[in-house]
Amino acid sequence: MSSRATAPQGSPLRQLADREGFLAWAMLLPAVVYIVLVVAVPFGLAVAFAFSDVTAGDPSYDWVGLRNFARIFEDPVFWKALGNTFVFTAVSMALIIVLGKVLANILVADFHGKWVVRFLVLLPWTTPVALSTVAWLWLYDSVYSPIDWVLRNLGLIENHLYFLGRPELATASVIAVHVWRLVPLAAVIMMVGLLGIPTDVQDAAKVDGVGFWRRMFEVTIPLTMPLIAVAALFGAIFTFTDMAVVYILTRGGPTNSTQVLSSWAFIVGIEGGDIGQGAAIALFLFPLLLAAAVLILRAVRKIEVF
Amino acid sequence: MTVAVEVRDLHKSFDRGRVHAINGVDLATGEGEYLVLLGPSGCGKTTLLRIIAGLEQPSAGEVLIGGSVVNGLPPRVRKIAMVFQSYALYPHKTVLGNIVFPLKAQRLDNGQRPDKAQRRSKAEWSAELLGISHLLDRKPRQLSGGERQRVALARALVRDPQVFLLDEPLSNLDAKLRATARDELRRFQQRVGTTTVYVTHDQAEAMGLGDRIAVMDAGTVRQLGPPAEVYDDPADTFVATFIGSPPMNLVPRDGVFVGFRPEHLLPPEYVSGARITVPFEVERIEYLSGDRHAYGSVSRLGEQTRVVARLPATVTTPLAGGQTHEFAVATRRLCFFDASSGLRTDPVAVGA
Write the secondary structure of chain A as one string of H (helix), E (strand) and C (coil): CHHHHHCCCCCHHHHHHCCHHHHHHHHHHHHHHHHHHHHHHHHHHHHHHHCECCCCCCCCCCECCCHHHHHHHHCHHHHHHHHHHHHHHHHHHHHHHHHHHHHHHHHHCCCCCHHHHHHHHHHHHHCCHHHHHHHHHHHCCCCCCHHHHHHHHCCCCCCCCCCCCCHHHHHHHHHHHHHHHHHHHHHHHHHHHHHHCCHHHHHHHHHCCCCHHHHHHHHHHHHHHHHHHHHHHHHHHHHHHCCHHHHHHCCCCCCCCCCCHHHHHHHHHHHCCCHHHHHHHHHCHHHHHHHHHHHHHHHHHHHHCC
pLDDT in tens, A272-304: 888 888 888 888 888 878 887 787 777 677 665
Q: Which residues span the domain enclosing A157?
A: 75-305
Domains in chain A, number: 1
Residue A300 distance to chain B (closest CA, Å): 14
What ipTM goes with this model? 0.78
Report whether pLDDT(A95) > 70: yes
Q: Could you say which of B91, B92, B105 has the minimum Cβ distance to residue A210?
A: B105
Report whether pLDDT(A183) > 80: yes
pLDDT in tens, B92-136: 888 998 998 888 877 666 667 778 888 888 888 888 888 888 888
Are A207 and B101 an interchain contact pair (Cβ–Cβ within 8 Å)? no
d(CA B258, CA B301): 8
- Residue A59 belongs to a domain: no
Radius of gyration of chain A (CA): 25
Are A201 and B90 an interchain contact pair (Cβ–Cβ within 8 Å)? yes
Report whether pLDDT(A8) > 70: no
Are B82 and A207 an interchain contact pair (Cβ–Cβ within 8 Å)? yes
pLDDT in tens, B198-243: 999 988 888 888 899 999 998 889 999 999 999 998 999 999 999 9
Q: Comparing A8-22, A50-64, A125-139, which segment has the lowest mean pLDDT?
A: A8-22
- Residue A225 belongs to a domain: yes
Are B55 and A214 an interchain contact pair (Cβ–Cβ within 8 Å)? no
Radius of gyration of chain B (CA): 24
Q: Which of helix, strand or coil describes residue B130? A: coil
Report whether pLDDT(A9) > 60: no
Select from A110, A112, A207, A219 the residue whose CB has the most chain B CBs within 10 Å, as the one to mutate to test that interface: A207
Residue A200 distance to chain B (closest CA, Å): 5
- Residue A152 belongs to a domain: yes
Are B104 and A219 an interchain contact pair (Cβ–Cβ within 8 Å)? no
Are A214 and B92 an interchain contact pair (Cβ–Cβ within 8 Å)? no
Which pLDDT value is given to residue A30? 92
- Residue A48 belongs to a domain: no
Closest CA to B22 of B1, B52, B2: B52
Q: Comparing A13-22, A222-231, B220-229, which segment has the lowest mean pLDDT?
A: A13-22
Q: Could you say which of B84, B92, B104 has the minimum Cβ distance to residue A204?
A: B84
- Residue A174 belongs to a domain: yes
Which pLDDT value is given to residue A5? 47
Chain A CB contacts of B158 under 8 Å are none
pLDDT in tens, B36-50: 999 998 888 889 999
Which pLDDT value is given to residue B225? 92
- Residue A23 belongs to a domain: no
pLDDT over 90 for what percent of chain A? Answer: 9
Q: What is the number of residues in chain B?
A: 352
Are A210 and B102 an interchain contact pair (Cβ–Cβ within 8 Å)? yes
**Smallest CA–CA distance from B106 into chain A, residue:** A209
Which pLDDT value is given to residue B351? 62
CATH number of the domain bearing residue A106:
1.10.3720.10
- Residue A9 belongs to a domain: no
pTM for the whole structure: 0.76
- Residue A20 belongs to a domain: no
Average pLDDT, chain A: 84
Chain B CB contacts of A228 under 8 Å are none
Are A209 and B76 an interchain contact pair (Cβ–Cβ within 8 Å)? yes
Report whether pLDDT(A3) > 80: no
Which pLDDT value is given to residue A2? 45
pLDDT in tens, B290-321: 888 999 998 888 888 899 999 888 888 888 88
